[in-house]
A and B are shown apart, each in its own frame.
Chain A
Amino acid sequence: MSKKMSGASSLVKSLESAGVDVMFGIPGGAILPAYDPIFDSSIRHILVRHEQGAGHAATGYAQVTGRVGVCIATSGPGATNLVTPLADAAMDSVPMVAITGQVPSNAIGTDAFQEADIRGITMPFTKHNYLITDPDQIPRAIAEAFYIASSGRPGPVLVDIAKDALQKETDFVWPKELSLPGYRPQLEPVNQSILDAAALIAQSSKPVLYVGGGAIKANASKELLQLAELLGVPVVTTLMARGAFPDSHPLHYGMPGMHGTVGAVTALQKSDLLITLGARFDDRVTGKLSTFAVNAKVIHADIDPAEIGKNRFADVPVVGDLKRTIAALIPAVKAEFAKKAPDYSAWNASMNKLRATYPLGYDLPKDGSLSPQYVIERLSAITGPEAIYVAGVGQHQMWASQFVKYENPRTWLNSGGLGTMGYAVPAAMGAKVGAPDTPVWAIDGDGCFQMTNQELVTCALNNIPIKVAIINNESLGMVRQWQTLFYEGRYSNTSLESKRVPDFVKLADAMGCIGLTCDRPEDVDSIIKKANSINDQPVVVDFRVFKDAMVWPMVAAGTSNDDIMIAREMAPDWDSQEL
């Protein structure tokens, strides 16, 4: 059955058919024909204040719901403003569909007003993209876009549609089937690879479960817990995997990597088998690659075959959906253990001791000022693990990954791969739209906040009551930390003076939010409770914290994980450890 309608109506019907319930965007000339049927659609359109906000909001929505996030923008500058969130979504494997208007097909290539080759621009960091000039192709392109974005390793897909294709008449026919001869994600792991993995586990004496963001994408937390308890060995969760495994679990060693715990970093370093689940040996985890876990064999389970062997050789590659992979691994491991029970007790004992000796911690500022870590620790303790926490990029992000206690998947959102300042406020907005009954706290830096805070206007006007904790250290703190450590304290262009300007409370107020401020440790709890009690308006709390706090532990960029420092010029006392 088909019906004559405009390409624009066909687009909106396609989005409805794809199951879209919300999208974030801003109209403009080239996409304007689509905004007319959007006016009548069941799809909620949230009018943002900057297209970057639309993109990160789509990501926030996708990360908490597991569904495809959708953003929409006009040609030229509207489309180029989506470049950062698309690159961000590609790095963090976020299912997203971006719709952009393009100049009319006969103007393409003429440097027409607001023309930008967004398909060309976004080729490197979209999973796939389209330029549609024929209205009949709209439903198929949209159907394919949603399928590609959400299947296999998720990622962003952009559909650029020429204005005349939106205006012309077409038949709307939602495809019953898709034919993508070059796209065949492998979901089911090969049985032999599962058996090989189980055998390797049974032979190992120092295995570690190295868990990445894929565990969350695959909704594999339940299976992961079973596997971890079956093995009874250390589990580490990367920055993208925080929440995939409960922080309260005795097998959890926390986060590995540049600012990981001594326990997690060392467990990987000393391991003889990395059971790698949906992780990708990112340089922020491995440190200097040639010195990373040199004695370990590697099982590498990932849905993306190209990740296997990219950075680190895999002794046993397992390509497939992680939920299925772990589910298949459990009985295979049981069968191995039935033949010969493993003994990981010496390994666990030494790692336990190390973990107990070097817990995460921080020093309170000597001048009695507010400690950023303390603020974040209290925020977590008071708000609890059912809430969603969304960070910007910088010191506050690392502290939020260290000092918030995560118990559930999809409760920790951050820009891990691209490290996009400005992610937090719009991503929190999208998260809140996806989970309206869950408290959503953005933990943002004073620098990051100044990049995208205008989306608080969107939140205020659209009943999206997020909460923002600005960790205001009046500086680009993470960069300042590097200047302290590696540039002799020469603080070139990292002072933001944001305890003076802007006045965050007034700014919040001007944007229709409640603005609160806190600069004394004794007020922290009551202000957090007050913020938590406000649910009909966005809240911004300006936590005015100590400026010189640093993130520890730290593995300096390009150095070996063996050289982890627990404080300035202070390495763990390896001699007293038996590893």
Chain B
Amino acid sequence: MSKHTLAVLVENSPGVLARVAGLFSRRAYNIDSLAVGPTENPAISRMTIVINVESHSLEQVIRQLDKLVNVIHIAELKPSESVQAELILVKISATSKNRFDVDAVLETYDAVIVDESAETLTIEATGDAAKISDLLNALERFGIRELAQSGLVGIERGSRSLAERTLSVQSIPTAKSGQADYQN
């Protein structure tokens, strides 16, 4: 089993999330997380998908994804060549007694308090999977009451952008008769 992160540029069209999610489900590919959001181009959305590849090769997953008409480009984000982060909001039990200990943890992990009540604190943090999991472990002892976690998002290091490599698209002339043989 190995984890891979894919950045997937898709057309911003209705149903595209269902198409991608449905593909993973019907071909029995394991998704660890899927995050989707807009990009610098309003016609294009970007998905970051973390998959656990076991019996299927990564190549096969990519090729099946690529068959979806709305999927424009797929790139694997290698950990060493990309920046990856997820966001958590976590509500923990905290009183004035342990507040000092909590602050120490937050400082270590660059986390911030975004809301507080008499007996709880809500903490926001971002980071890669390892950092988030360490933070959650450290917060465990205070008592985690509620956790909301985004999927992972990632972007390649360096100056290159995925979009500029993919969006030089040539258009296809429609045949006079659409039933003309496009193939031969």
Chain A residues close to B by CB (< 8 Å): 17-20, 66-68, 119-120, 123-124, 127-128, 131, 142-143, 146-148, 150-152, 174-183, 187, 218-219, 304-306, 308-310, 321, 323
Nearest B residue to A18 via CB reads B178
For the complex, what is the distance from the CA of A573 to the CA of B177, rounded to whole Å? Answer: 56
**How many Å from the CB of A460 to the closest CB on chain B?**
28
Q: Which residues of B contact A323 (CB under 8 A)?
A: 183-184
* CB within 8 Å for A182 and B183 given contacts A120-B18, A176-B174: no
- Bits for B54-73, please: 1 = Cβ < 8 Å to A, else 0: 00010110011011111111
Q: Is the CB of B174 within 8 A of A178?
A: yes
Partner of B69, one of A18, A67, A127: A127
Chain B residues close to A by CB (< 8 Å): 10-11, 14-15, 18-19, 22, 26, 57, 59-60, 63-64, 66-73, 166-167, 169, 171-184
Q: Which residues of A contact B182 (CB under 8 A)?
A: 147, 150-151
Nearest B residue to A20 via CB reads B179
Partner of B72, one of A123, A124, A182: A182
Q: Is the CB of A146 within 8 A of B178?
A: yes
Q: Is the CB of B171 within 8 A of A177?
A: yes
Nearest A residue to B13 via CB reads A130
Q: Which residues of A contact B60 (CB under 8 A)?
A: 306, 309-310
**How many Å from the CB of A225 to the closest CB on chain B?**
17
**Residue of A119, A180, A181, A304 contacting most chain B CB atoms (<10 Å):** A181
Nearest B residue to A219 via CB reads B184
Overall SS of chain A's interface? loop
Q: Which residues of B contact A148 (CB under 8 A)?
A: 69
Q: Which residues of A contact B174 (CB under 8 A)?
A: 143, 147, 174-178
Q: Is the CB of B18 within 8 A of A179?
A: no
Q: Which residues of A contact B63 (CB under 8 A)?
A: 305-306, 308
For the complex, what is the distance from the CA of A17 to the CA of B68, rounded to whole Å? Answer: 26
**Residue of B10, B57, B73, B179 contacting most chain A CB atoms (<10 Å):** B179
Nearest B residue to A220 via CB reads B184
Q: Which residues of B contact A152 (CB under 8 A)?
A: 183
Contacts A19-B177, A176-B173 known; 15 new A-B pairs at CB < 8 A: A17-B178, A19-B176, A19-B178, A20-B178, A68-B178, A147-B182, A177-B171, A178-B174, A180-B172, A181-B11, A187-B183, A219-B184, A305-B66, A309-B59, A323-B183
Q: Which residues of B contact A310 (CB under 8 A)?
A: 60
**How many Å from the CB of B11 to the closest CB on chain A?**
6
Q: Is the CB of B178 within 8 A of A177?
A: no
**How many Å from the CB of B30 to the closest CB on chain A?**
17
Q: Can you give 14 A-B contacts (C-beta < 8 A)? A: A17-B178, A20-B179, A123-B15, A142-B178, A147-B174, A150-B181, A177-B174, A178-B174, A181-B169, A304-B67, A306-B67, A309-B57, A309-B59, A323-B183
For the complex, what is the distance from the CA of A56 to the CA of B175, rounded to whole Å? Answer: 26
Q: Is the CB of A131 within 8 A of B181?
A: no
Partner of A306, one of B64, B72, B181: B64
Nearest B residue to A308 via CB reads B63
Partner of A177, one of B10, B19, B172: B172
For the complex, what is the distance from the CA of A128 to the CA of B66, rounded to whole Å? Answer: 12
For the complex, what is the distance from the CA of A573 to the CA of B66, rounded to whole Å? Answer: 47
**How many Å from the CB of B28 to the closest CB on chain A?**
13
Q: Is the CB of B183 within 8 A of A177?
A: no
Nearest A residue to B74 via CB reads A182
**How many Å from the CB of B18 to the closest CB on chain A?**
7
For the complex, what is the distance from the CA of A437 to the CA of B11, rounded to whole Å? Answer: 45
For the complex, what is the distance from the CA of A304 to the CA of B64, rounded to whole Å? Answer: 10
Q: Which residues of B contact A175 (CB under 8 A)?
A: 174
Q: Is the CB of B64 within 8 A of A183?
A: no
For the complex, what is the distance from the CA of A147 to the CA of B68, rounded to whole Å? Answer: 15
**How many Å from the CB of A145 to the closest CB on chain B?**
8
**How many Å from the CB of A23 to the closest CB on chain B?**
12
Q: Which residues of A contact B14 (CB under 8 A)?
A: 131
Q: Is the CB of A178 within 8 A of B180?
A: no
Partner of A123, one of B18, B66, B184: B18
Q: Is the CB of B69 within 8 A of A182?
A: yes
**How many Å from the CB of A341 to the closest CB on chain B?**
32
* CB within 8 Å for A182 and B178 given contacts A305-B66, A321-B183: no
**How many Å from the CB of B29 to the closest CB on chain A?**
13
For the complex, what is the distance from the CA of A308 to the CA of B62, rounded to whole Å? Answer: 12
Q: Which residues of B contact A306 (CB under 8 A)?
A: 60, 63-64, 66-67
Q: Which residues of A contact B184 (CB under 8 A)?
A: 218-219, 321, 323
Q: Is the CB of B15 within 8 A of A119?
A: yes
Q: Which residues of A contact B183 (CB under 8 A)?
A: 150-152, 187, 218, 321, 323
**How many Å from the CB of A15 to the closest CB on chain B?**
9
Q: Is the CB of A123 within 8 A of B19?
A: yes
Across the A-B interface, the 8 shortest Cβ-Cβ residue pairs: A19-B177, A18-B178, A146-B178, A19-B179, A306-B63, A177-B171, A151-B182, A181-B169
For the complex, what is the distance from the CA of A68 to the CA of B169, rounded to whole Å? Answer: 26
**How many Å from the CB of A483 to the closest CB on chain B?**
30
Q: Is the CB of B69 within 8 A of A183?
A: yes
Q: Is the CB of B26 within 8 A of A124?
A: yes
For the complex, what is the distance from the CA of A309 to the CA of B176, rounded to whole Å? Answer: 37
For the complex, what is the distance from the CA of A148 to the CA of B68, rounded to whole Å? Answer: 11
Q: Which residues of A contact B166 (CB under 8 A)?
A: 181
Q: Which residues of B contact A119 (CB under 8 A)?
A: 15
**How many Å from the CB of B51 to the closest CB on chain A?**
16
For the complex, what is the distance from the CA of A124 to the CA of B59, rounded to whole Å? Answer: 20
**Residue of A119, A151, A180 contacting most chain B CB atoms (<10 Å):** A180
Q: Which residues of B contact A147 (CB under 8 A)?
A: 172, 174, 178, 182
**How many Å from the CB of A398 to the closest CB on chain B?**
28
Nearest B residue to A65 via CB reads B179
